Amino acid sequence: MSKAKRRTRIESARRKHWDMIVVGGGITGAGVAREAARRGLSVLVLEQKDFAWGTSSRSSKMVHGGLRYLAMGDRKLTRESLLERERLLKEAPGLVERMGYYFLLPKSWKPWRLVMKLLLASYDRIAGIKNHKICNNSELGEAFSKLDQNGITGAAFYTDAVTDDSRLVYRVLQEAEADGASLLNYCAVKSSQKADTEHQSVEIQDAISGEVFQCKASVIVNSTGAWADRLRQARIDEQRVRPLKGSHIVLRKGVLPIEHAISCQHPDDKRSVFVFPWEGHSVIGTTDLDYEGSLDQEANISKEELEYLLAIVRHHFPSESIDRKDIVSTWSGVRPVIAGDKQFARAQKAEQGSADKTRKKPSKERRDHAVWDDDGLISAAGGKLTTFRVMALDVLEKAAPYLKGWQFERDEAAVFRPGGAKKNAQANLNEDQLDRLEACYGFRTSDFLATAKNEELKPLFDQKTCAAQLRWALREEWVEHLDDLLLRRTRLGLLLPNGASQLFELCKTLCQEELEWSEQRWAEELERYQDIWHRAYSLPA
Ligand SMILES: Cc1cc2nc3c(=O)[nH]c(=O)nc-3n(C[C@H](O)[C@H](O)[C@H](O)COP(=O)(O)OP(=O)(O)OC[C@H]3O[C@@H](n4cnc5c(N)ncnc54)[C@H](O)[C@@H]3O)c2cc1C
């Protein structure tokens, strides 16, 4: 964002009394802002780092019902998620895409085949589709020719969906902005106070200028994910979020190419781990561990996690001899899981010194969300990427009593405006490229095409992203740092070797043209980016 535009936004943020201030610019905050702005509320979104910097750019990127949750008997969460999955598939084609999943069936599970069949039938029935089967080993071999079938008796095939999580956040924010929401990244909320019965205030630090300022609203939404307890602390003395870390590895293009996701049992602990196609690469993940590191920096993969994930592919695809050299990048996210009351008490006890042997295993934790009202500070945490709209509606329902004269109604209105750019299709773009652009920019695709230079529409290297998308992000998508551009607006830093070092010269030119970065600013940005990439997106030493 240009300096002048940012200045104007901060000035208006200070002056105005907002209906709602949303703290946290991940998928939860974006969803709340979108639903609130659509209903006519004035909304300010504040994000301490970059939009989608938190968990929402570092998930497993699945828009799914969660077969596992159904198997665990959580029908409500599964149903809610499946209906949202189907809605997103319809509303955001290209951004959310159906994907086939093969759940490997070990020989020891043979007696359970019928149960699996019933589970799949129920999963599809809830979603209103029919696309599942139990495959034998020969069908499985057709889908995964390199899979070692030793000890396996086929697979359960079903479908879910996959997305680009940070692009999903930007599409939702773009909708909120179009309905009048004001968005400010790199603005951390330091505290929130109840000023009087009708006013709340927050103290904000602008990370770019260092300036501290106040903003006022009728209600504050705390959608800070794994950080949610921090903002609540001034109002209530309890800790409800259990941060769980999950890591992934991204294989180099061409290594273990697959077209469908496969869920494999880990040879050591029998946990299920996915190997799935994403952006033309294969990704392996996730781990699921209590996170004790700092929340103020990106989490990163440990040596043990790396070995754990490599052990999966080595076990199931031994002929491929996958090794560190085959990995192009990694990422780790911290899941804000809600600890139940009893568990919370146990966690506290454990903190006070008595070891907590009864604490649930991370992968046994429930994944549903919770919304709390602490005197006008409405906090929402937990849940999934998939269910952001449901979470947003629950937040608005809790916020309504603080918004005088405003009535909340739960409706089924679309999150996304229709695209429709194909009418203005440029002759030099093929159908795939257009679909891809529409997936990224939705109703703004025509604006993108109207301003894109022809020579910048060619995909960069072996990727699907083009230079015009980098330029658009710098102009239109609130970019402040190089890492915003390469790790979240585009995923080139995760997909091209060495954090996309072959694009640095191009990025420098574009940043200088669009954001007027000086030589010195570029050098600082490059150093910052490389530090982040080596620390959080590459391999552990
Ligand atoms: C490894 C892993 C895999 C997952 N896979 C899936 C999946 O496949 N499908 C699925 O549906 N879900 C998945 N999830 C869950 C999903 O990613 C999360 O539930 C979701 O992204 C949480 O979004 P959020 O907006 O609540 O939190 P975040 O995305 O973390 O956003 C919170 C934001 O608040 C900001 N913030 C914090 N404090 C402040 C402050 N004081 N002031 C301003 N801003 C602040 C943070 O910087 C952050 O950007 C996964 C999670 C993990 C960890």
Interface predicted TM-score of the whole assembly (ipTM), two decimals: 0.99
Band of residue 366 on the pLDDT scale cut at 50, 70, 90 = low
Task: Check residue 367 and give its pLDDT.
Answer: 67
Q: Please determine, for residue 3, whether its predicted confidence score (pLDDT) is greater than 90.
A: no
Report domain 94-162+242-338's class: alpha beta
Task: Check residue 111 and give its pLDDT.
Answer: 77
Q: How far is the CA of 371 from the centre of ligand 1 (A)?
A: 15
Instruction: Write the pLDDT tens digit of every residue in 162-213.
Output: 999 999 999 999 999 999 999 999 999 999 999 887 899 999 999 999 999 9
Task: Check residue 537 and give its pLDDT.
Answer: 98
Instruction: Write the pLDDT tens digit of every residue in 91-139.
Output: 999 999 999 999 999 998 877 888 999 999 999 999 999 999 999 999 9
User: Thinking of the domain 3-56+167-240+341-358+367-402, which architecture would CATH place it in?
Assistant: 3-Layer(bba) Sandwich (3.50)
**Mean pLDDT along residues 473-496:** 98
Task: Check residue 425 and give its pLDDT.
Answer: 60
**Mean pLDDT along residues 451-458:** 94
Residue at 441: amino acid letter:
Y
Where are the domain boundaries for CATH 3.30.9.10 in the chain?
94-162+242-338
Q: Atom 21 in ligand 1: which residue has the minimum CA distance?
A: 56
DSSP codes joined into one string, 426-470: -TT--HHHHHHHHHHHGGGHHHHHHH--GGG-SBPTTSS-BHHHH
- Nearest atom in ligand 1 to the alpha carbon of residue 226 is 30
Q: Please determine, for residue 362, whether its predicted confidence score (pLDDT) is greater than 70.
A: no
Where are the domain boundaries for CATH 3.50.50.60 in the chain?
3-56+167-240+341-358+367-402
Q: Which of 170-184, 296-310, 407-421 has the lowest mean pLDDT?
A: 407-421
Q: How far is the CA of 82 from the centre of ligand 1 (A)?
A: 20
Q: Please determine, for residue 36, whether its predicted confidence score (pLDDT) is greater than 80.
A: yes
Residue at 212: amino acid letter:
V
Band of residue 354 on the pLDDT scale cut at 50, 70, 90 = very low
Residue at 105: amino acid letter:
L
Q: Atom 38 in ligand 1: which residue has the minimum CA distance?
A: 224
**Hey, which of 51, 59, 68, 185 would you mutate to test ligand 1's pocket, going by the most ligand atoms within 8 Å of its Cβ?**
59
Q: How far is the CA of 1 from the centre of ligand 1 (A)?
A: 23
Instruction: Write the pLDDT tens digit of every residue in 256-296.
Output: 999 999 999 999 999 999 999 999 999 999 999 999 999 99
Backbone angles phi, psi at 365, to 5 degrees: -70, 145
Task: Check residue 1 and give its pLDDT.
Answer: 80
N-terminal to C-terminal alpha carbon distance within the chain: 35
Backbone angles phi, psi at 131, to 5 degrees: -155, 65
Q: In the predicted model, what is the mean pLDDT of the chain?
A: 93
Q: What share of the chain is helix, strand, coil (3-state, %, to 5)?
A: 45, 25, 35
281-309 CB burial, b ≥16 within 10 A, e <16: bbbbbbbbbebeeebeebbbbbeebbebb
d(CA 454, CA 134): 48
Contact predicate 329/279, CB 8 Å = no
Closest CA to 384 of 526, 215, 246: 246
Q: Atom 9 in ligand 1: which residue has the minimum CA distance?
A: 62
Sign of CA pseudo-dihedral 46, 51, 55, 56: positive
Residue with tokens 């019902």: 65
Q: Please determine, for residue 526, whether its predicted confidence score (pLDDT) is greater than 90.
A: yes
Task: Check residue 423 and give its pLDDT.
Answer: 56
Residue with tokens 């600082």: 524
Contact predicate 10/148, CB 8 Å = no
Q: Please determine, for residue 353, whether its predicted confidence score (pLDDT) is greater than 60.
A: no
Task: Check residue 73 and give its pLDDT.
Answer: 87
Band of residue 351 on the pLDDT scale cut at 50, 70, 90 = low
Residue that wins the pLDDT comparison between 316 and 368: 316
Q: Atom 15 in ligand 1: which residue has the minimum CA distance?
A: 384
- Around ligand 1, the residues with Cβ closer than 6 Å are 23-29, 46-49, 53-56, 59-62, 64, 188-189, 223-227, 231, 246, 286, 333-336, 383-386
Q: How far is the CA of 47 from the centre of ligand 1 (A)?
A: 12
Task: Check residue 329 and give its pLDDT.
Answer: 98
Instruction: Write the pLDDT tens digit of every residue in 13-29.
Output: 999 999 999 999 999 99
- Nearest atom in ligand 1 to the alpha carbon of residue 28 is 25
**Hey, which of 60, 169, 480 would you mutate to test ligand 1's pocket, going by the most ligand atoms within 8 Å of its Cβ?**
60
Task: Check residue 345 and give its pLDDT.
Answer: 45
**Mean pLDDT along residues 445-453:** 93
Contact predicate 201/216, CB 8 Å = yes
Q: What are the Cα distances from residue 334, in Å, to 26, 179, 283, 290?
A: 12, 30, 18, 9
Sequence-separated (6 or more) residues with CB below 8 Å from residue 243: 226, 290, 291, 295, 334, 335, 336, 337
d(CA 306, CA 290): 16
